[in-house]
Amino acid sequence: MILALAGGVGGAKLAAGLQAALKAPAELLTVVNTGDDFEHLGLRISPDLDTVTYTLSGRANPETGWGLAGETWHFLDALAALGGEDWFRLGDRDLATHVERTRRLRAGETLSRVTSDLSRRLGVPSRIAPMCDERVRTVVETDGGDLPFQEYFVRRACEPAVRGLRFEGAASARMSTAFASALADPALEAVVVCPSNPYLSVDPILAIPGVRGSLVRCAAPVVAVSPIVGGRALKGPAAKIMEELGVEASAAAVADRYRDLLDGFVLDETDRALAGAIESAGAGGRVRVRVRVERTIMHTGEDRTRLAARVLEFARTLREG
């Protein structure tokens, strides 16, 4: 089996590639960040879980990467006319997901159960699980004070300078059952850290107690794909945040951030020149990481499947020694 760790749009694309590249898609489990979740208009919104579910079911909006294709906006327009909060755009069809998830969570079901059931109903052939079932909330510490994640990301368009991040609730959360079982499964063949934002999307997953240690110890190779290409983020504010936190925005800095748990790192062709430095950085007693150079930018479905197949092949070579 293959375990993928993902946040929103970039992570979902590689997860879709892995699902397409595997002969038996049910062997893929995608574990998703829930630090972006929030309560809005009385509803429980899980943006990254929905982005992954919609992408893996072939329903994602191709322009935005989040939300549903062919969406209509009557609800939001009516809400705006009443003076309601319309800064977070909930489409008419997407709304059904939030209403149904909220109802089931209120009735006492876990987020894991709701997620796996909704994804099955939408026709996803692989498995999707939240990182945990407890409430974890990413708080962005900025020059202007602390902001709940979606206030920072959507309402303020990632404009405030980031000084730090914290994941409230993470220390007392537990890995979801599917996540913990996958990490303990002797049949685990690879862990793929998708090209998601290391600070906003992957760090919350790594903040769940036991995750880092399990990844360091796990017998299967852990391979990350860089979300930074040529010093820029493929999508979103990763490069901006790295600079604001005083870290060079480069694929090499991403490799360094994950180094203690990585066996392999996939770099874009643009960054080929960094490969040697990333590999030799392990020479001084630090963990050694093998590097593979690929075309990592995923415009089309074929791009996703090809990159995923290369990542799986790279993991196979790492496994074999």
Nearer to ligand FO1, 51 or 278 (CB): 51
| Nearest distance from C-beta of residue 312 to ligand FO1, angstroms | 24
Query: Least Å distance between CB 49 and ligand FO1?
Result: 8
- Report, in Å, the least distance between residue 282 CB and ligand FO1: 30
150 binds ligand FO1 (CB under 6 A): yes
**Which residues ranging from 152 to 171 are in contact with ligand FO1 (CB under 6 A)?**
153-154
Cβ 86 to ligand FO1, closest distance in Å? 9
199 lies in the binding site for ligand FO1 (CB under 6 A): no
Q: What residues between 201 and 240 interact with ligand FO1 by CB under 6 A?
A: none
- Piece of 89-97, 121-129, 209-217, 263-271 that binds ligand FO1 (CB under 6 A): 89-97
What is the closest distance, in whole angstroms, from the C-beta atom of residue 255 to ligand FO1 in the complex? 22
Cα 276 to Cα 22, 138, 228, 293, distances in angstroms: 30, 35, 17, 11
Q: Which is nearer to ligand FO1, 63 or 320 (CB)?
A: 63
What is the rounded (10 degree) CA torsion for 93, 99, 104, 108? 150
> Quick check: 198 binds ligand FO1 (CB under 6 A)?
no
**Minimal distance in Å, beta carbon 248 to ligand FO1?**
23
- Rounded-to-integer distance, Cα 220 and Cα 72, Å: 44
Stretch that binds ligand FO1, among 82-90, 111-119, 206-214, 296-304 (CB under 6 A): 82-90
Binding of ligand FO1 by 7 (CB under 6 A): yes
| Strand 145-148 with 137-142, pairing | antiparallel
User: With binding defined as CB under 6 A, does residue 90 bind ligand FO1?
Assistant: yes
Q: Which residue is nearest to ligand FO1 (CB)?
A: 8
* Closer residue to ligand FO1 in complex, CB, 119/180: 119
Cβ closest to ligand FO1, residue 19 vs residue 196: 196
Q: Residue 260, Cβ neighbours under 10 Å: how many?
A: 12
Cross-strand bridge partners of residue 290: 264
Q: Which of 42/285 has CB closer to ligand FO1?
A: 42
Q: With contact defined as beta carbons under 8 Å apart, do 159 and 176 qualify? A: no
Residue 40 Cβ, how far from ligand FO1 at the closest point, in Å?
9
Residues of the shown chain interacting with ligand FO1 in the complex, contacts defined by CB under 6 A: 7-8, 36, 47-48, 50-51, 66-67, 88-90, 94, 150, 153-154
